Amino acid sequence: MKNRKKASKNRIIDIPEQCPECGSSNIVYDPVSGEYVCASCGLVLAERVFEVTPEWRAFSEEDRIKLSRVGEPLPIDRTSLTTVIGEPGRKLLSRKIPPSERKDVSRMIIWHKRAQYASSAERNLALASSELDIIGNKLKLPTSLKERTLFLYRKVIEKGLTRGRSVKELIAATLYAACRLENEPYTINDIAKAVGRSSKRIGKLYRLVVSELKIAPPKRDAKRFLSTVTGKVSVIKNLKPSEVAKIQREAYKILEQADKLHLTRGKDPVGMAAAAIVLACERLGIEGPSFRELAKSVGKTEITIKNRYKDLKEKI
């Protein structure tokens, strides 16, 4: 399949000329969401691709300034960036600084670090932002979700919830709250694994954040977790993309019917999504994962997925 190259903010992105799902060449670009989408089946081929090149002609400098693009959205979490003085103990710098002056430079670095932030709140926010970047790289978090997380974390700081608590654990709990509010398919186990902390501890802080900020996360939609679950199971990942798409579509239909029959009410969305995938594979005649493999992949018990599967099979 031929691809066409598309440049976006110094990145080269491959955009296929044909949809890998339906074979259509009717690929359209949505400038609002920054997505390339197949107009025939709706498959998203590339996301967060923002145009930075001009789409006009200017004949004067004044016209060029008026018509120029604003570029990609600017993040709101970099309000405390400052200059950095290099460490004198490092190999490169130690050659340039005479031994007699290293003590003075070390003292200057200490005071520089203390003066970088106007308050302890700014310092805490900067640390949280750095931790969130690390989590974001591991989980491939969208920028909008990270910004929502930092927006909530500012409120956490204002409420005085950071005192005596781990920044890493608290930003993880705030991230989970943002995921719930934005209906993003990241589980508390995913986040806990990314920060190397127990899900029980993150869950406890999450309940504190929700209670103190007086936010009411909506019920999680099991259909949103279909891609997450299929992406974690090796048996499904080894299938052809067209077969994976069929499984997801069939599982989506199953969960839609389950919603209408109120079978998903009060049930864990990940377990429901996993059970729907098993049933979808069965109905399509595709060899899918075992209950044990699914349970291990998504961090749920085997009996939970079996019970959800039994409910779906009997009533749908």
pLDDT in tens, 161-190: 999 999 999 999 999 999 999 888 899 999
pLDDT band at 159 (very low <50, low <70, confident <90, very high): very high
In this predicted structure, what is the pLDDT of residue 39? 75
Is the domain of 143 the same as that of 201? Answer: yes
Within 8 A by CB and 6+ apart from 163, the residues are none
**Percentage, residues of the chain above pLDDT 70:** 76
Question: Which among 180, 213, 246 is the end of a domain?
Answer: 213
Q: What is the CATH number of the domain that holds 24?
A: 2.20.25.10
Q: Please indicate, yes or no, if residue 78 is contained in any of the structural domains.
A: no
Predicted local distance difference test score (pLDDT) of residue 114: 65
pLDDT for the residue numbered 54: 56
Same domain, 101 and 17: no
The domain containing residue 97 runs over which residues?
A: 83-116
- Give the model confidence (pLDDT) of 69-109 as tens digits: 555 555 554 445 556 665 555 544 555 677 777 777 778 77
- Is residue 102 in some structural domain? yes
3-state secondary structure 36-55: EEECCCCCEEECCCCCCCCC
Q: Are residues 294 and 238 in the same domain?
A: yes
Residues 24 and 94 reside in one and the same domain: no
Is 158 inside any structural domain? yes
Report the domain count for the chain. 4
Q: What's the CATH code of the domain at 136? A: 1.10.472.10
Residues 186 and 242 in one domain: no
How far is 288 from 293, CA to CA, in rounded Å?
Answer: 10
At 25-73, the pLDDT tens digits run 888 877 656 677 887 776 777 765 555 555 555 556 566 655 555 555 5
In whole angstroms, give the CA distance from residue 116 to residue 83: 8
Domain end, chosen from 213, 236, 253, is at: 213
Per the prediction, the chain carries an average pLDDT of 81
Q: Same domain, yes or no, for 302 and 240?
A: yes
